[in-house]
Amino acid sequence: MENEEKREKIIGHIGRIASVLSVMMYVSYIPQIMDNLAGSKGNPIQPLVAMVNCIIWTIYGTFKKEKDWPIIIANVPGIFLGAITFFTSL
């Protein structure tokens, strides 16, 4: 039983680390958004695909029998920042 608890604790830590890294990845869109707004438009395809990907992962994490909060937390910022990046790059 002790090994299982230790394993679950490690998996929990990995989930939190992955969530933080995902949020950081989507926050990195902010310079592209600023460039888009300044007139130097970037390609809209990647942020559009990232936004759709994040929507799917958020739905998955939300509708699991037991909500998967690391997945939800990691992907919600990607929905909004991907959408903002996409629309400002048009």
Burial of 72 (0-12, 13-18, 19+ CB in 10 A): middle
Q: Report the interhelical angle of 69-88 vs 45-63 (nearest 10°).
A: 150
Q: Give me the pLDDT at residue 2, please.
A: 87
- Mean pLDDT of each 10-residue bin along the chain, 90 residues long: 90 92 94 97 97 98 95 96 98
Q: The CATH number of 2-88 is which of 2.30.30, 1.20.1280, 1.10.3470, 1.10.287?
A: 1.20.1280
In angstroms, the CA 13 to CA 38 distance is: 39
Q: What is the pTM of this model?
A: 0.88
Q: Which residues contact 74 (CB under 8 A, 6 or more apart)?
A: 18, 19, 22, 23, 57
